[in-house]
Amino acid sequence: MEPLRSGDPERVGPYRLVGRLGAGGMGQVFLARSPGGRPVVVKVIRPEYAADREYRARFAREVEAARRVGGFHTAQVVDADPNADSPWMAAAYVPGPSLQQAVQQRGALDEHALRILAAGLIEGLAAIHSCGLVHRDFKPGNIILAADGPRIIDFGIARPTDASTMTLSGAVMGTLAYMSPEQIGGGQVGPPSDVFSLGSVLAFAATGQSPFAADGIGEVVMRIVSKPPELPQLPDDLRRLIHACWRQAPDERPTTADLLAQLSTAQTSHDWPPPGLADLVNSETPGPASPPNLPNPPNPPKPPPAAMGPPRPYTPAAPPNQPFHQGGEEGRFGPVPVQAAPPPVWFPPAAQPPPRQRFFSWRGVLVGGAAATAVVGLVAALAVLLLLRPTPSQRVLEVDAEVNSVVFSPDGSVLAGAGGDNTVRLWDAGTGEELAELEGHTDWVRSVAFSPDGSVLASASYDRTVRLWDAETGAQRAALEGHTDWVNSVAFSPDGSVLASGSDDGTVRLWDAGTGEELAELDGHPNVVNSVAFSPDGSVLASGSGDNTVRLWDTGTGEELAELEGHADWVRSVAFSPNGSLLASASDDGTVRLWDAGTGEELAELEGHTDWVRSVAFSPNGSLLASASDDGTVRLWDAGTRKELGRLEGHIGWTTSVAFSPNGSQVASAGNDGTVRLWPVDVE
Specify binding-site residues for ATP: 43
Please give the Cα distance from 643 to 625 (Å, whole number): 10
Query: How many other C-beta atoms are found inside a 10 Å radius of the C-beta of residue 24?
Result: 12
Query: How many other C-beta atoms are found inside a 10 Å radius of the C-beta of residue 611?
Result: 22
Please give the Cα distance from 194 to 165 (Å, whole number): 12
**Cα radius of gyration rounded to whole Å, the chain:** 26
Label the pairing between strands 582-587 and 591-596.
antiparallel
Rounded (5°) CA angle 599-603-607: 145
Q: Determine contact, residues 639/331, Cβ cutoff 8 Å.
A: no
Please give the Cα distance from 455 to 513 (Å, whole number): 12
Binding site members:
43
Residues 6+ apart with CB under 8 A from 220: 176, 177, 212, 213, 214, 381
Q: Determine contact, residues 436/459, Cβ cutoff 8 Å.
A: no
Sheet strand arrangement including 560-565: 529-534, 540-545, 549-554, 560-565
Q: Determine contact, residues 562/542, Cβ cutoff 8 Å.
A: no
CA 646 to chain centre: 21
Burial class (CB in 10 A: 0-12, 13-18, 19+), 662: middle
Q: Which residue of the set 8, 79, 85, 137 is catalytic?
A: 137
The phi, psi pair for 467, rounded to 5°, reads -120, 145
Q: For residue 586, which amino acid is it?
A: A
Residues 6+ apart with CB under 8 A from 55: 45, 49, 295, 297, 298, 301
Query: What are the angstrom distances between the C-alpha of 279 and each of 97, 101, 105?
Result: 11, 13, 12
Q: Which helix (H) or strand (E) holds 123?
A: helix 111-130
Alpha-helical regions (H) of 26-77? 47-50, 53-69
Q: Could you tell me which of 219, 215, 213, 211 has the C-alpha nearest to residue 239?
A: 211
Burial 315-331, CB ≥16 within 10 A → b, else e: eebeebeeebbebeeee
The phi, psi pair for 223, rounded to 5°, reads -65, -40
Label the pairing between strands 456-461 and 403-408.
unpaired
Please give the Cα distance from 684 to 682 (Å, whole number): 6
Q: Is 81 a catalytic residue?
A: no
Q: Could you tell me which of 60, 70, 24 has the C-alpha nearest to residue 43?
A: 24
How many distinct helices (H) and strands (E) make up the chain? 12, 38
Residue 142 DSSP code: G
CA 125 to chain centre: 22
Residues 6+ apart with CB under 8 A from 87: 44, 45, 50, 56, 59, 80, 81
Q: Could you tell me which of 392, 423, 303 has the C-alpha nearest to residue 46?
A: 303
3-state secondary structure of 601: coil
Residues 6+ apart with CB under 8 A from 517: 313, 314, 511
3-state secondary structure of 218: helix
The beta strand positions in 301-357, using DSSP E, are: 315-316, 324-326
Please give the Cα distance from 29 to 599 (Å, whole number): 52
Looking at the annotation, which residues are catalytic? 137
